[in-house]
């Protein structure tokens, strides 16, 4: 299973991969040109990338390939520019690489291909590359969908859905939907049994994808996201700070806040 996702920090495919890593509490990193260069200016500090001593984009590309166990390039059609160089250098240094052409397959098939690539090459550190946003405006959401679907496929493989079902009820109670984050947390806490609260509180945050996929449908329905609870969604979007925030992103933000809240109240602390 993936332990870290890295990229070069450019807009588009690179930043999408980093945002998925941050969302799922997966370690992230990589190398970026001197000055944290991207086409929209310096990369924000929330992305934990290391600066090269040079502004040469190719040098950071080389280092990210060397520092990873394998590289996936996600794009459409024949590779050009930096994406073509990425594939060529990976072949030269003998590093596993996988090109996913979205003109030849849909996102779900792409996720199956990526999952197989990760498993076959025992990749723990995955380097993600692809076009910048100005060249392919759709690439951010494409990469996000593929990576999140890949994580979901791993979740199903591990059979963790059955474990989560023991703790989370599928029954949806109909009542007014919360408009604020604190009300949403209070509502969910009121639903959950003590053993479930303790289970969530003690859950390893590095494996939050298991909680997320197991509770996604329950939280979507319970909080009214499936019928567009806009006040709560907008508050979650503002907290996340993404231009392309989705309902699923909002669910994760609430889940993280729920876990933080339960950690304070449902983990036994031994006072020496």
CATH number, residue 124? 3.40.50.450
174 and 124 in a single domain? The answer is: no
11 and 123 in a single domain? The answer is: yes
Percent of the chain with pLDDT over 90: 78
32 and 140 in a single domain? The answer is: yes
CB 135 within 8 A of CB 12: yes
Q: pLDDT tens, 66-81?
A: 999 999 999 998 888 8
- Whether 210 is in a domain gets the answer yes
Greater model confidence, 266 or 100: 100
204 and 151 in a single domain? The answer is: no
pLDDT band at 272 (very low <50, low <70, confident <90, very high): very low
Q: Where are the alpha helices (DSSP H) in 27-176?
A: 57-67, 81-92, 107-120, 139-157, 160-165
258 and 223 in a single domain? The answer is: yes
The answer, yes or no, to whether residue 173 has pLDDT greater than 70, is: no
Domain that holds residue 191: 160-266
31 and 147 in a single domain? The answer is: yes
Of 157, 186, 204, the position where a domain reaches its end is: 157
Over residues 114-137, mean pLDDT: 96
Over residues 113-140, mean pLDDT: 96
Q: What is the value of pTM for the model shown?
A: 0.91
CA dist., res. 55 & res. 159, Å (int): 45
Over residues 30-35, mean pLDDT: 97
Of 103, 122, 157, the position where a domain reaches its end is: 157
Q: What pLDDT is stored for residue 166 in this prediction?
A: 72
Number of domains in the chain: 2
Of 157, 182, 198, the position where a domain reaches its end is: 157
β-pair partners for 128: 72
């Amino acid at each position: 299973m993936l332990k870290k996702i890295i990229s070069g920090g450019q807009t588009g495919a690179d930043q999408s991969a980093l945002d998925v890593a941050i969302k799922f509490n997966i370690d992230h990193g990589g190398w970026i040109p001197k000055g944290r260069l991207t086409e929209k200016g310096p990369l924000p500090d929330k992305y934990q990338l290391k600066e090269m001593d040079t502004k040469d984009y190719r040098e950071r590309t080389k280092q990210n390939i060397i520092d990873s166990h394998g590289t996936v390039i996600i794009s459409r059609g024949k590779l050009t520019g930096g994406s073509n160089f990425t594939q060529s250098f990976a072949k030269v240094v003998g590093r596993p690489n996988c090109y996913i052409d979205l003109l030849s397959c849909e996102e779900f098939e792409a996720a199956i291909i990526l999952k197989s690539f990760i498993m076959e090459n025992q990749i723990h550190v995955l380097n993600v590359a692809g076009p910048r946003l100005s060249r392919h405006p759709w690439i951010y959401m494409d990469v996000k969908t593929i990576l999140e679907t890949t994580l979901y496929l791993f979740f199903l493989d591990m059979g963790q859905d059955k474990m989560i079902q023991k703790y989370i009820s599928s029954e949806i109670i109909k009542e007014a939907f919360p408009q604020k984050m604190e009300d949403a947390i209070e509502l969910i806490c009121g639903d959950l049994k003590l053993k479930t609260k303790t289970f969530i509180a003690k859950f390893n945050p590095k494996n939050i994808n298991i909680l997320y996929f197991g509770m996604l449908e329950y939280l979507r329905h319970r909080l009214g996201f499936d019928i567009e609870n806009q006040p709560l969604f907008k508050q979650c979007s503002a907290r996340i700070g993404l231009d392309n925030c989705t309902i699923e992103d909002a669910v994760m933000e609430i889940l993280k806040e729920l876990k933080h809240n339960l950690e304070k109240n449902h983990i036994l602390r031994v006072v020496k």
